[in-house]
Amino acid sequence: MVSWLPAQCTFTYYPKPSISLRPSRGVALGRAVTLRCRGQHRNMRFLLYKDGNPNALQDVEPAGDVTRFPIRSVSRRDAGSYSCRYSTKSDPPVWSEPSDPVEVLFFYLLDMVTLHLTAGLPSGGVSLGGSVAVQCRAQCQGVRFVLNKEGRHFQPPAGDLAEFPISNVSRRDAGSYSCYYHHKWYPFIWSYPSDPVELVVAGEGPGSVSPIPAPHPAGPSGQRHVQGRKQAQAPRISGSGAQNSSGDAVILLVVGLILAEAYYSRPRGAPR
């Protein structure tokens, strides 16, 4: 605990709790989400706060050290930044420090004809050390894109088209990519992810398979889908400019044998 002594009053704070979301990746409008707050002491009073407002939204007194704050039907006004804290039930109460904030994001299922997000890689193959770009596009202006690769996120400037260049391609760049977007004025409202694309780096040996993409959020029907469609398997796309390395090796070997035979079969004393 942290305490200090201003004048004749002693203020003591418990360690901050942790706060988490279920589901953690975002929720569709009208669906349920639960905020889970865990303290370090039992039989405390837990309070939930939103967007830095000092007035608590809810307070619960669980028997254990964990409490849940459910939102049964998410609306636009529920999006935002949440935190929690706990206190003793005595008077005056002893408080904890506030938790780190967590953001409630929700996916807004728009008509795919009006707003359609795609991630694309050029056809062909990407060789080690080559270059490739992942493109994301939406049918509206003023949006911000986020490129996702196995939990890593990359964000370019706003616009209806974003290009994520990958130069000097290495094996660690192989994997599944997808895009999200949100309007720059509504950072908590997100699109569903695009169809995934898989970047395969040429020259990888057998068994070196790019990871399978993570599942997409469940839609209102319970099925996992992208922009109203069922999730499809990620296409194996290999980028541009790659050549068949094994074929090149065979050709070089044959040429080498021909040159060696010509060298050793020439008459003695012949000019080189």
Place of tokens 């636009």: 76
pTM over 0.75: no
Give the number of other CB atoms < 10 A from CB of residue 2. Answer: 9
Whether 78 and 30 share a structural domain: yes
| 62 and 123 inside one domain | no
250 assigned to some structural domain: no
CATH number, residue 191? 2.60.40.10
Q: Is the pLDDT of residue 131 over 80?
A: yes
pLDDT greater than 90 at residue 139: no
**Domain, as residue range, for 11:** 2-107
Query: Has residue 269 been placed in a domain?
Result: no
CB atoms within 10 A of CB 45: 19
Per-residue pLDDT, 112: 34
Instruction: Check pLDDT > 50 for residue 262.
Output: no
Is residue 232 one of the residues assigned to a domain?
Answer: yes
Residues 129 and 240 in one domain: yes
Q: Which of these ranges, 37-41, 71-75, 90-94, 254-258, has the smallest mean pLDDT?
A: 254-258
3-state DSSP percent of the chain in helix, strand and coil, to 5: 10, 35, 55
Residues above pLDDT 90, as percent of the chain: 21
Indicate if 92 and 146 belong to the same structural domain: no
Selection from 99-103, 213-217, 241-245, 268-272 with the highest mean pLDDT:
99-103
pLDDT tens readout for residues 154-187: 666 666 677 788 888 888 888 888 888 877 777 7
State whether 148 and 179 are in the same domain. Answer: yes
Query: Residue 157: inside a domain, yes or no?
Result: yes
Note whether 174 and 221 are same-domain residues: yes
Domain shared by 91 and 127, yes or no: no
Q: What's the domain count of the chain?
A: 2
- Residue that terminates a domain, selected from 58, 80, 107: 107
Helices (H) and strands (E) in the chain, counts: 1, 23
Tell me: do 124 and 215 sit in the same domain: yes
**251: phi then psi, degrees, rounded to nearest 5:** -60, -45
